[in-house]
Chain A
Amino acid sequence: MASHRVRPKTAGTYVRRGIVLTYLFLLVVWPVSLIAQHTFGNGFGNLHTALTDPAVTSALRLTIYVSIWAVAINTVFGVGISLLLTRYTFPGRSILSALIDLPLSVSPVVVGLALLLAYGGTNGLFGPALNSAGFQVAFATPGIVLATTFVSLPLVIRELVPVLTEIGTDQEQAARSLGAGPWQTFRRITLPSIRWALVYGVVLSLARSLGEFGAVKIIGGNIAQQTQTATLVVEQKYQDFEQPTAYATSFLLALIAVAALVVVTVLRPKENPDGD
């Protein structure tokens, strides 16, 4: 790690600092703070209107339900896939490792279309079979869970893989040689060392899940009070000229996102501790 002793500050230091702060203020800080201003412009009225609107409350409930499912699925598979990628060799491992990142780069609209082609009720690949088994995916909650799981899939894995690689396998092997079973080794040795990375990944997945818009709109169909999530209700309320409600709902979503970031920043080990 580079040394972090104090370097002399030149005029350039202040110019660069000024440019960066202005840029970030105009692009992020000012616009985001206006959300709070629009929400609380006349006290808690807007928030109250939003939270007593059945369309908003049912959307928030759906979003929370879907996010919990998506995060749970991604945590289980994330831990599993991370362990497989770092602890075992098998053909195609590097391809799998590259493909895991794909969901972060794919357009949400493309995700929605892809899921519709696979799980659409009438002419999807699996949709009709699932439908006749009494399980509707597209335009129903399972489809929204799938879309949300898709877009937040890599987040846990991306946090865990570097940590698992870094800690190595010495302790795990020691535990195994002393007679611990795989589950005991995982619970007593591996899990404690990846704990914070896992929390970090879960918080990020949660933030991402709450905010998904495009994929959920296509696979869910945006049916009010049925498959309309919180982000979709923001769009509708804004276009229906119920802008205070749109702002209040946005404020709630933004609040959760920023809270998640603060949690993550506090938890994250400092990469360049001050005064080292």
Chain B
Amino acid sequence: MDVQFFIDVFPEILEGLTLTVSLFLWTLLFSTFLGLVLALMRLSPIPPLRWVSAVYGWLLRGIPLLLLLFYVFFALPEFGDFFILSPFRSAVLGLTLWTASYQSEAIRSGIISVDKGQHEASEALGMSRTHQMRKIILPQSVRIIAPPFTGNAINALKQTSLATVITVSEMTGITRGIISSTFQTVEPLFALALVYLALTTVLVFAQSGLERVFRLKT
């Protein structure tokens, strides 16, 4: 292994870091919102809302993310000019749709794990369903939601690497470019791996930090 090349290649790969991180943050933001909506729909008293959410989850969890990205990037534009998105936006859309299906399960299981007595007590106090959910149920469920939620978020970070396949040149894409132009594979791959490992390790620490914040004080 050529150590000098290994060091030289870092700055070039890090140029893609901004793109990787912004893919991740946008995905995290949108998928959290969509995941919450889907979870509440799944728990709604209105059957059609429940069905839509269940079918969504079944569809999105049943196909590979890569296929979904191809669909967004190649098939969606056929439905009209409105759907012609930049590679970056296509990637955020695909990653969001996919991650939301997992986040909705994490959020739903957190909500249903809140003790039934809490529902009944807030009802007895004359709270409306939305009021209950916002003030009583969700704050308590956050504790249970946090671990799978951050797990999904870490997966989303790793999956931003797939955006390279629809021509977004984030870190993985840049690394592929270096490999094909220099024919050196080991050094750029190790450099890339180190950056990802650093990112995911930071997130794992954030995860245990979060869990500590939400732990019940006894």
The answer to whether A and B assemble together is no
Q: Which chain B residues have a beta carbon within 8 Å of chain A's beta carbons?
A: none
Q: Which chain A residues have a beta carbon within 8 Å of chain B's beta carbons?
A: none
